[in-house]
Amino acid sequence: MVKYVRQLQFLLFLLPILAIYSLFTIYPLIKSFFLSFTNFDGYTEAYDFIGLKNYVRIFSDDAITSAISYTLFFTFGKALLVTLLAIPLAMILDQKFLTRNIHRAIFFFPSIPSGLLLAYIWGFILAPIGSGVLNSVLSELFNIGPQPWLSAPLLAKLSTIVVATWAITGWHAVLYLAFLQSIPKDYYEAASIDGANRLQQIRFITFPLLAPAMTVSVMLLLTGGLKVFEIPFALTKGGPGYETYSITQVIVLRGISETQYGLASAMSIVFFLIVLAIAIFQVTVMQRREQGIQ
């Protein structure tokens, strides 16, 4: 009885936040699901049920098929680049040197301003004309003519990935740094007594013990990457053509600009399921890897 009452107390404390969560998260989600079967246009309250028509339309929409392929390319490209850069960066920042704290701050800084702002600044750097910062540097140093950083399909895709990686690597390095610092120094001492060199220490101690950090970091990178909007939008507006349209941009475009809320709702439901599936798959696989290592 006492145990039951205690549990009830906890539940009571959860009530307010549960109410808020339901109001602002669960309810819109259900409403969105409901609207995805209608032709609601966002203006008039009168709308009809049209069954699965919206869901059928998604897959004949050029924009969404192009957006799915770009978003996946962006997400995995960024996740790979960030992971490859953040771990070595974290290891360097973990060393003892004089300007260590300043360096940590410098690398962390790009993740603070909004993506939109960063992308606008990068827009000046990557400006495709001869007077663009990067192009003038390239032409001064290597005599290379202006490159269409943001308007050739492949270059535009790569540019968005590079800018996004630049912005977030420091943040993930700090995440890895926190895990690095929790690795007991004794392991390294023991290993060096046994004659292990630095590379072997990294391979057999640091890397396996960083596995939980990698699970978290990669999950954040994947879910964040799939939800990307600001950086490609501010850099290229989705162009040229549909080449750098992200899934979220198509949802905003169809929903708000074109007043097809029903269709946009159906898109977000499908998108939600894709993110959910990828996140569950990734976490399960990487947790299994963690257990395997440990």
Partner 1 sequence: MKKTSLLLLITLLCLSVVLAACGKNSNTGNKGNTGNEGTANNAEKGNDAPKPVKLSILAWNNEKEMKPVIDGFKEKYPHISFDFQFAPPVKDYIAKLQTMLLSNTAPDIFIIAAENRNEIIDGGYALDLTDEPFMSVMLDSNKPMLSKDGRTYAFTQSGWAGGLFYNKQLFQKAGITKLPETWDEFIQDCLKLKEAGIIPLYDRMHDITIIHSAMFGSNVLTKDPTFDEKLFKGEATFAEGWTEVLTMWKEGLIDNKILTPDMIGLTGDQVMNEFSLGNVAMFPGGPWNIATIEKTNPDIEFEIMPIPGKEPGNKYYNGAPGVGFAVNSKTKNKEEALLFLEYMTTQEGLKQFEEGTGGIITAHGYESKVHPAYAPAYNDGLMAGKIYLPMVSWDRHQEALRNQFLVSIQDIAVNKITPEQATASLDKKLKEMENK
Window 118 to 137, contacts with partner 1 (CB under 8 A): 123, 126-129, 131
Among positions 29, 33, 42, 136, the unique one binding partner 1 when judged by CB under 8 A: 42
Smallest separation (angstroms) from partner 1 to the CB of 137: 17
Please report whether residue 12 would count as binding partner 1 according to CB under 8 A: yes
x/- map, 138-167, partner 1, by CB under 8 A: --------xxxxxxxx--x-----------
Which among 105-113, 189-197, 207-215, 253-261 is the span making contact with partner 1, rule CB under 8 A? 253-261
CB 49 within 8 A of CB 37: yes
Q: Note the helical H segments in the chain.
A: 2-21, 27-35, 53-58, 62-94, 100-108, 115-125, 133-142, 153-181, 185-193, 198-201, 207-209, 211-226, 230-236, 247-252, 261-293
Binding of residue 13 to partner 1 (CB under 8 A): yes
Binding mask of the shown chain, residues 263 to 282, with x at each position contacting partner 1 by CB under 8 A: x-------------------
Structure tokens at 146: 């202006």
242 lies in the binding site for partner 1 (CB under 8 A): yes
Q: Which two tokens stand for residue 121?
A: 């600044």
Give the whole-angstrom CA distance, residue 97 versus residue 225: 33
Q: Which is nearer to partner 1, 159 or 217 (CB)?
A: 159
User: CA 234 to CA 125: how far, in whole Å?
Assistant: 13
CB-wise, 217 or 244, nearer to partner 1? 244
User: Least distance in Å: CB of 42 to partner 1?
Assistant: 6
| Residue 126 neighbours by CB distance under 10 Å | 25
**Nearest CB to partner 1, comparing residues 49 and 207:** 49
Binding residue for partner 1, selected from 9, 95, 291, 294, defined by CB under 8 A: 9
- Which of residues 11 and 190 has its CB atom nearest to partner 1 in the complex? 11
d(CA 146, CA 249): 29
Q: What six digits make up the tokens of 25?
A: 């998260």
**8 Å CB contact between 123 and 235:** yes
With a CB cutoff of 8 Å and minimum separation 6, the contacts of 221 are 75, 78, 79, 82, 83, 168, 172
Q: Please report, as ranges, the residues that interact with partner 1 according to CB under 8 A.
A: 5, 8-9, 12-13, 15-16, 19-20, 39, 41-45, 57, 62-63, 123, 126-129, 131, 146-153, 156, 235-237, 239-242, 253, 256-260, 263
